[in-house]
Amino acid sequence: MQLPDDNLLKFVDYFKADRVIVEVNQIVSLFNGQCPEIGCHGIWNVTDQKIEGGVLLITHQCSKGREGVWSSSAVIAEKWGQKLYVSSVLLTSSVLVSGNNFEKGSLLVKGMNLRYVSSSFFIRMQSLYALPSIPDLWSKMKEVVWKVFENDVLVICEDGRMDSPGFSPKYCVYKMMEHYLNIPCQP
């Protein structure tokens, strides 16, 4: 099975870009001094800096007039002038796919004063992008899994886990897995 398909390969490339933690001051200092434009003798300055959705945006201007905005992340999509950044998508969706939640993610980054996304931004990203993608991918995977097992006798292992260890449980997660290939099964 080819997962993801060709339409998704550019998003895989976005994902594969290396990322590091950088101190904002270290970056801002790069935007001061001689204007980098060839032949220009103007002085380069930062006129504005902000962090939105975990992305650093620096507005810079040369004393001769040239202006620009630098962002710490590539743009994955643009709609009605609004840019959606790769880092914002990854910051929020990686919390979900690693089995964590917003509070745990926030606590982790708080320990290093790493600027994170707000809870409303997090919820918006989950409901618009991350949550719809998971059942979509899973349904594609299921088609393949069922084909593989089509004419087989299956040995299924099952287990359930309640949200509370002992009393007043509310939610139960029930899983089924093929015994020999360890492939999750779902009717």
Size of the site for Zn ion (CB under 5 A): 7
Enter the DSSP assignment of 57.
E
Query: CB-wise, 60 or 83, nearer to Zn ion?
Result: 60
User: Which of 180, 175, 174, 176 shows the shortest CA–CA distance to 152?
Assistant: 180
3-state SS, residue 151: coil
| Stretch 141-160: interaction string toward Zn ion, x if CB under 5 A | --------------------
Rounded to whole angstroms, the Cα distance separating 157 from 175 reads 8
Q: How far is the CB of 66 from Zn ion (least distance, A)?
A: 5
Site for Zn ion in 22-81 (CB under 5 A): 35, 37, 40, 42, 62, 64, 66
Site for Zn ion in 3-22 (CB under 5 A): none
Alpha carbon distances (Å) from 168 to 85, 164, 165: 42, 7, 9
Q: Is residue 90 near Zn ion by the rule CB under 5 A?
A: no
- Residues contributing to the site for Zn ion (CB under 5 A): 35, 37, 40, 42, 62, 64, 66
